[in-house]
Amino acid sequence: MADVSFGQYYPTKSFAHKLDPRIKLLFLITYIVAIFLATTFWGLGVCAVALLFCVIFSRVPIGKLLKSVKGVLFLLLFTAVLNVFFYSPKEGETALWSWQFLHIYSGGLIAAGFLIARLFLLVMGSSLLTLTTTPVALTDGLESLLTPLKWIKVPVHDIALIMSIALRFIPILTDETSRIMNAQKARGADFETGGLFKRMQAIVPVLIPLLISAFRRADELGDAMDARCYAGSKTRTKYKKLRFAWRDLVASIFGLAMLAGVIVLKIMLPGII
């Protein structure tokens, strides 16, 4: 669990790190839209090439980025299995393998591979955002993008702050879980043997102290904010003003070009191939 990189910031000087957080958030939204608009492997290939360029310009080690997939690896495999065995075959399509009510078709394998590739790219792109953007920058960028909602009395600053704190707590709680599990193992707990239900029962002694630790950290954070006279966005000023630069324009053009490429391929090559 200590290898999970989602929610962690990787400090370095790169083109991606220097981008305006608002542009990075909009680019991620565009990237997600492009992934779900893609209906062919060619469309996902465009998104994969765009992600590759982003990784190169972010200078984030590819190994650290791949670790973010560990947290959703079970979800990827489970979804792939469901798509393989519950695929609705086309007319005239013969099964590659059958056993009672279970059937495997070539179309099911293609659909499962397509879905795995889509979720894989989605997780990688989201993790790259957190690896190249500090929680403070994410809060400022999200608050700036949601500014129009202030006209209808939506607490934009509080929402952005809550999301930023929740994101920052992911690696903290991951480390806390690892420490609790090591302490339980030192007392004779076994998390690696037995069936599924036995392992789930062994996790219960970990969840209770983890919840207590999470509430304690939240209480300490609230006390720290009160001690520093934090009063929300009403009286708070910005030390650093967000400003667009030439690199933000380049990133915007790149994101629009990626989306346009996926749309063109969607029109020219409809359906999964």
Over the stretch 127-163, which tens digit does the pLDDT of each residue have?
888 889 887 788 888 888 888 888 888 888 788 778 7
Section 193-214 average pLDDT: 78
Mean pLDDT of the chain: 81
pTM of the predicted protein model? 0.76
pLDDT tens-digit series, residues 74-112:
777 887 777 777 666 666 566 666 666 666 767 777 778
* Strand bridging mode 95-99 / 102-105: antiparallel
- Name the band, by pLDDT with cuts 50, 70 and 90, for residue 23: very high
Task: Give the containing element (helix H, strand E) for 64.
Answer: helix 62-66
Section 173-200 average pLDDT: 78
157 or 273: which leads in pLDDT? 157
Distance CA 49, CA 27 (A): 14
The pLDDT of residue 192 is above 80: no
The pLDDT of residue 4 is above 70: no
Give the per-residue pLDDT at 196. 66
Reduced to 3 states (helix: H, G, I; strand: E, B; else coil), residue 102 is strand
The pLDDT of residue 215 is above 80: yes
Distance CA 155, CA 33 (A): 26
Give the per-residue pLDDT at 49. 93
The pLDDT of residue 266 is above 90: no
Find tokens 């630790």 and name the residue. 213
Distance CA 219, CA 234 (A): 23
Give the per-residue pLDDT at 6. 56
Task: Give the containing element (helix H, strand E) for 198.
Answer: helix 196-227
* Cβ-based neighbours of 266, under 8 Å, separated by 6 or more: 37, 38, 39, 40, 43
**Cα–Cα–Cα angle for 78, 80, 81, nearest 5°?**
65
